[in-house]
Chains A and B, each alone.
Chain A
Amino acid sequence: MEAGTASSGSGIHLPGMEIAKASKNRYEVMIGPAHPGSGHMRIFVEVDGDIMVKVDPDIGFVHRTMEKLAEGREWIQNIPLFERIAILDACNITLPYVRAVEKLLGIEAPERARYLRTLLCEINRVASHLYGMGIFGVFLGHSTLYMWAFGDREVFIDLAERLTGARLTHTYPVFGGVRRDIPDDFPEDARKATRYMRKRLNEYAKIFLNNPNIRSRLENVGVLTKNQAAELGLVGPNIRASGIRYDVRLNEPYEAYGDVDFEIPVFEEGDSLARAWARVEEVRQSLNIIDQVVTWLEKHPRENFMHEKFWKTAPKLYKDVYEGKISYSPKYRIKLMPIFASLKVPPGKSFARVEAGRGEIVYYVESNGDIFPYRVRVVSPSFRNVIAFKYVMPGHRLMDLPAIYGSFDYFPPAFDR
């Protein structure tokens, strides 16, 4: 970036927030990349007094060449790799990849697998929002919320661990199905967790969002208008807080989302407070979905968890493992057919998207019939959201930076892939 430039690169100005010409009083402040609050990114901020006049997010500090790495790995090996884009939202992040490859293979996950995927997606969404809220709290100096949100996130991580066997890197959806079915005591545990969390959300509101000190820092700060949000192409709860009715679960239902009953909360205000409330309301809806899905899973027989193509030829041992007849291996594990180790995907191009915790994530997958993908393109939600900083922050005071920054629920590893 050119140091100390006077011209503003921004095309959009907020009404009443004029960007001043260069003057002696301008300083450049760098937030990050080793700042505890900024995560692995840097923000160039030009301040006039303590008013931010120009903000430029600089990403790329945790770039891991995911897309290139994917070209040298077999199809299934890419699932654990893409999980690392946003580890706290692992199921949502890998699901579109799995769906895109499924499209190329010409298969679709059977019904029970679809519900199981929905279940883990929603558990991940709750965990991811709680993480975001915790970080938001500590940005504003509210360490209570930080401790609470991280403690409560543990409830959902534990739930995910009981379902998949790992706390964060679940590698749960695979082509044609999932890797485990729910344990016998899972529905009861899940219901306890959702009931607990609903009650906790009210307390969160009391101690954080309705707390006058926090409110005054968030209300009318970082207002993102509907037009601006659409123009910048943002995604996720951030645009739903600005009044745009866009959610992949609504516009293009996938997995079991067409069959469960839930609401998409949309707010009008578009300020930091609305973004925070949008997340709280979304957690509430996710809890509803978890309840419904768990009830569905309980009522229906344990069959159809893997596509016929892969399960039809399963030997008896595989069924024994599922039924828990092997003493040393846990129950309800769905073993993978050895064909997964050298899967060849028919040539073609496909595209899939889902609504992850932070917004829409898109995968474009191209195959030339080999055991490796020819090209995988990932567009992650944080990458699309980060540009908002440039247009929302100028005009505010420097101390508003964390309030805006935290409200967008940034996640640097997801910007960079």
Chain B
Amino acid sequence: MPAKVSQKKNPKRNPLGKVFAGNIGALAVGLKYFFDPNRITLLYPHEYIKLNKGYRGFIVLIKEKCISCSSCARICPAAAMRMLSVKVYNEKLKKYMIKKYPVINYNRCIFCGLCVDVCPTEALYHVPYHDIVYENMNDMILSLEDFQKEPENIEFKEGIPVKYYFDERRGLVKTPYMEELEKRNEKEEKNQKVEGEGEKGAS
């Protein structure tokens, strides 16, 4: 069914009472939200959003999978991805060969994700966060080693992870994401144990 035109008019205003009624209506709605506010504010960085897996955040290279096809560098609309030539030792031929691997410049990247989508061997993937601070701009040009690691996110250590859920009455509802928090606490406990043991061993 194609679209239909529906003729509409501005709602009429009654000569009498409408000013009064309109004011009352507006005040009532305002009052309702005064007592029951619809807050979605994120107290960043004390809280951070635990984004879904599909989020297009920072990019990580799995070097073993890369076949050096350069598709990712060619498709990049911001010229953020470049191919780097490195010498690698070839076991079969027993000699050094030049191989190309992509490296990324986060000064330029716009997180369009085209490189990840075009990679024929799925050697690139996104991590679901993008709020990482670098001390200077040169650090944002990653080396091949750094490009293979998932970047470290500071808030993940201290902030409370939250998730937004859709709700019919409130739109979005912010809820602490407990699973993530528990996981982190467990990890910390483990780390502490390891540290403790290390100390014992040393003494």
Contact status A250-B10, CB under 8 Å:
no
CB interface residues, B 43-64, toward A, < 8 Å: 51-56
Contact status B19-A212, CB under 8 Å:
yes
Contact status A158-B172, CB under 8 Å:
yes
The CA of A328 and the CA of B2, in the complex, are separated in Å by 42
Interface segment, one of A31-39, A261-269, A386-394: A261-269
CB interface residues, B 1-30, toward A, < 8 Å: 1-11, 13, 18-19, 22-23, 25-26, 28-30
The CA of A407 and the CA of B151, in the complex, are separated in Å by 45
Contact status B171-A336, CB under 8 Å:
no
Given contacts A260-B1, A261-B1, A264-B3, contact A165 B10 (CB under 8 A): no
For residue A301, which residues in chain B have a CB less than 8 angstroms away from its CB? none
Contact status B53-A193, CB under 8 Å:
no
Asked if A76 is at the interface (CB within 8 A of a chain B CB), the reply is: yes
- Closest Cβ of chain B to A259, distance in Å, is 7
For residue A259, which residues in chain B have a CB less than 8 angstroms away from its CB? 1
Asked if B131 is at the interface (CB within 8 A of a chain A CB), the reply is: no
Given contacts A155-B171, A180-B54, A326-B122, contact A263 B110 (CB under 8 A): no
For residue A215, which residues in chain B have a CB less than 8 angstroms away from its CB? 13, 22
For residue A326, which residues in chain B have a CB less than 8 angstroms away from its CB? 122
Contact flags A171-207 to B (C-beta < 8 A → 1, else 0): 1000000011001000011001101110010010111
For residue B75, which residues in chain A have a CB less than 8 angstroms away from its CB? 74, 76-77, 336, 340-341
The CA of A274 and the CA of B11, in the complex, are separated in Å by 9
Contact status B117-A151, CB under 8 Å:
no
Q: Which of B19, B69, B113 lies at the interface centre, i.e. has the most chain A CB atoms within 10 A of its CB?
A: B113
- Closest Cβ of chain B to A149, distance in Å, is 12
Contact flags A196-237 to B (C-beta < 8 A → 1, else 0): 110010010111111111010001000000000000000000
Q: 12 additional contacts, CB 8 Å, given A158-B166, A336-B114? A: A76-B75, A171-B113, A193-B166, A212-B13, A212-B19, A245-B5, A250-B3, A273-B10, A317-B122, A329-B125, A340-B114, A342-B74
- Closest Cβ of chain B to A184, distance in Å, is 11
Contact of A154 among B5, B8, B40, B71 (CB under 8 A): B40
Contact status B166-A192, CB under 8 Å:
yes
Contact status A144-B120, CB under 8 Å:
no
Contact status A277-B5, CB under 8 Å:
no
For residue B121, which residues in chain A have a CB less than 8 angstroms away from its CB? 317
Contact status B117-A335, CB under 8 Å:
yes
- Closest Cβ of chain A to B117, distance in Å, is 5
Contact status B3-A171, CB under 8 Å:
no
Contact flags A18-36 to B (C-beta < 8 A → 1, else 0): 0000000000000000000
Contact status A207-B26, CB under 8 Å:
yes
Contact status B6-A264, CB under 8 Å:
yes
Contact status A268-B9, CB under 8 Å:
yes
Residue tally, chain B, CB below 8 Å to A: 58
User: Which residue of chain A has its CB nearest to the CB of B75?
Assistant: A341
Given contacts A155-B172, A206-B29, contact A212 B23 (CB under 8 A): yes
Asked if A122 is at the interface (CB within 8 A of a chain B CB), the reply is: no
The CA of A281 and the CA of B7, in the complex, are separated in Å by 11
- Closest Cβ of chain A to B79, distance in Å, is 9
Given contacts A155-B172, A158-B172, contact A166 B113 (CB under 8 A): yes
The CA of A166 and the CA of B8, in the complex, are separated in Å by 36
Asked if B190 is at the interface (CB within 8 A of a chain A CB), the reply is: no
The CA of A315 and the CA of B119, in the complex, are separated in Å by 12
Contact status A210-B30, CB under 8 Å:
no
Contact status A328-B125, CB under 8 Å:
yes
Asked if B111 is at the interface (CB within 8 A of a chain A CB), the reply is: yes
Contact status B5-A266, CB under 8 Å:
yes
User: Which residue of chain B has its CB nearest to the CB of A292?
Assistant: B1
Asked if B112 is at the interface (CB within 8 A of a chain A CB), the reply is: yes
User: Which residue of chain A has its CB nearest to the CB of B39?
Assistant: A151
Asked if B156 is at the interface (CB within 8 A of a chain A CB), the reply is: no
Contact status B120-A338, CB under 8 Å:
yes
- Closest Cβ of chain A to B28, distance in Å, is 8
